[in-house]
């Protein structure tokens, strides 16, 4: 499978969402090849299909005052934060009935990225994402419409982890969040992280099978 990669740099969430929808429609219609969009967002909080307002630990007015946009979206999962220093990837490709397989393919590719930095990380059979012990390094949440996936992952690279204090990350209590910078003891070069992420995804998805059949779904593990 040929995966076209587009690096969007820094882009507001709403603008990236419009682009994602445009590319999704083109892939579903067969006018575009599968895409991976890479982006850093200004501070924003997104609430997935499983999110409740109890996952927001501040009044909504507080987020507005802090310049943090809040969006309710249709991916699987609960609430998460995006912002500078976090690598967000949107994976847009035909998936058919293989939603769970796609989720695991993506999750394992991101585990491989962590391993490439010498970090012990893995998936959790009960919880979505990539974990280092009891701390989440990378969130994963997907949706599928018209047999094509959208949304994707958020890898904490040089993220300000204090930003997660205003939410219950992914709606999970009793767990924490971490980043590559925190685990490695120094800020990481984002270009290097992007290169390793793209390489891992391209290698794994070169084996992705042709898929047919799934009308609409979301999955978060």
Residues of the binding site for substrate: 75-82, 139-141, 152-154
Strands (E), 122-219: 130-132, 135-145, 148-156, 176-177, 216-219
- Helix (H) / strand (E) element for 19: namely helix 13-28
Annotated binding-site residue numbers: 75-82, 139-141, 152-154
- % helix, strand, coil for the chain, step of 5: 35, 30, 40
* Annotation marks residue 170 as catalytic: yes
Catalytic residue among 148, 166, 170, 198: 170
Q: Whole-angstrom Cα distance, residue 170 to residue 175?
A: 10
Per DSSP, what are the bridge partners of residue 92?
35
Give the residue numbers marked as catalytic: 170
């Amino acid at each position: 499978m040929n995966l076209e990669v587009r690096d969007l740099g820094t882009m507001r969430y709403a603008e990236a969402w419009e682009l994602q929808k445009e590319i999704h429609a083109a892939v579903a219609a067969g006018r575009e090849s599968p895409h991976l969009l890479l982006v850093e967002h200004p501070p924003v909080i997104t609430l997935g299909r499983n999110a409740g307002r109890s996952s927001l630990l501040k009044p909504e007015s507080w987020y507005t005052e802090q310049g943090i946009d809040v969006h309710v979206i249709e991916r699987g999962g609960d609430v998460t934060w995006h912002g500078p220093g976090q690598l967000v990837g949107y994976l847009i490709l035909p998936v058919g009935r293989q939603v769970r397989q796609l989720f695991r393919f993506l999750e394992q590719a991101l585990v491989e990225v962590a391993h490439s930095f010498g970090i012990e990380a893995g998936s959790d059979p009960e919880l979505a994402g990539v974990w280092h012990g009891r701390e989440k390094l990378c969130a994963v949440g997907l949706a599928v419409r018209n047999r094509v996936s959208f949304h994707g992952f958020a890898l904490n690279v040089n993220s300000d982890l204090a930003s997660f204090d205003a939410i219950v990350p992914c709606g999970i209590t009793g767990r924490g969040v971490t980043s590559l910078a925190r685990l490695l003891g120094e800020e990481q070069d984002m270009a290097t992280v992007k290169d390793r992420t793209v390489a891992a995804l391209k290698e794994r998805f070169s084996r992705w099978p042709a898929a047919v059949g799934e009308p609409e779904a979301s999955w978060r593990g």
